[in-house]
Amino acid sequence: MTIQKFLPPFLFACMLTAAQAQTPTASTATPAVFDTPTAASAPAAPTYTAEHLAAAERIVYAMALPERFILPSKAMIKLSEERDADNAALMETVFNSYLEKKYTADKLTPYFASRFDLGTCRQIATFWEGPVGKKLVKAQINILNGGEPKPIMYTRKEKAILKQFETSPAGQAMLAALPDIEETFADYTSDTQKKMREVFLRELERHLKSKAAASATSAASSAPAQ
């Protein structure tokens, strides 16, 4: 397996996961349960050095994982806002924090730190930040933005860079981890969109109750004295 051969199905899986998770409208009945471990049951998170986390974070940004979550999510939110214009402002308020790049980076950085040691993280990040990685990411972002898939053309130097990385220990570690990266990212996308849905429905209920209470107060104050 090579990185280039794996990435199209990886991208498809990202898009499929996003398409399957529906953003709610006001008419949605019951929120999906978004289970998170309680403080008592959650295992202690492993600790990593600041350098290790910084290198892992570079991978997340260089692979454009935030964009791969944000772009499909924004498209679905836009459709929901069009269907439920009355609550569009509330959707924007609730969802905005989840659509910040830093949110995705903060969630996924510990995963990459757990998969790769410091040196490997740095080498993987350097590859994705380089000319070959940027071309791969650009092609995927183009598809996420609705563009047609196009073959990626490499210069002779870029082909050499790709081959050198894929045959290096860091490249081999990356290739071995790609299926798990795909699964982890898909789970993150699904879980986060479920959480967004749950939070929206909770805020919508609160908003409607507040609106009803205000209407009742207004009606009572304007009623003629007996």
**Token digits for 99?**
């659509």
Tell me which residue of 6, 1, 17, 3 sits closest to 187, measured CA to CA. 17
Per-residue pLDDT, 211: 77
Measured N-to-C along each axis, helices 101-115 and 169-222 cross at an angle, to the nearest 10 degrees, of 150
Model pLDDT, residue 59: 98
Domain that holds residue 100: 3-19+49-207
pTM of the model: 0.77
- Answer whether residue 35 is part of any domain: no
Find how far residue 218's CA is from the centre of its chain: 43
Helix axes 3-20, 156-166, angle to 10 degrees: 80
Cα–Cα nearest to 25, from 89, 97, 81, 96: 81
- Which amino acid would we find at residue 44? A
Q: How many CB atoms lie within 10 A of CB 193?
A: 26
Q: Which residues of the chain have pLDDT under 50?
A: 11-40
The answer to the question of residue 199 being in a domain is: yes
Longest dimension (CA), the chain: 90
83 lies in a domain? yes
Q: What's residue 183's pLDDT? A: 95
> What domain count does the chain have?
1
- Helix axes 118-129 and 156-166, enclosed angle (nearest 10): 160
129 domain-assigned: yes
pLDDT attached to residue 14:
43
Looking at residue 218, its pLDDT comes to 64
- 217: in domain: no
Residue 32's pLDDT is what?
Answer: 34
Which positions ≥6 away from 119 have C-beta within 8 Å? 170
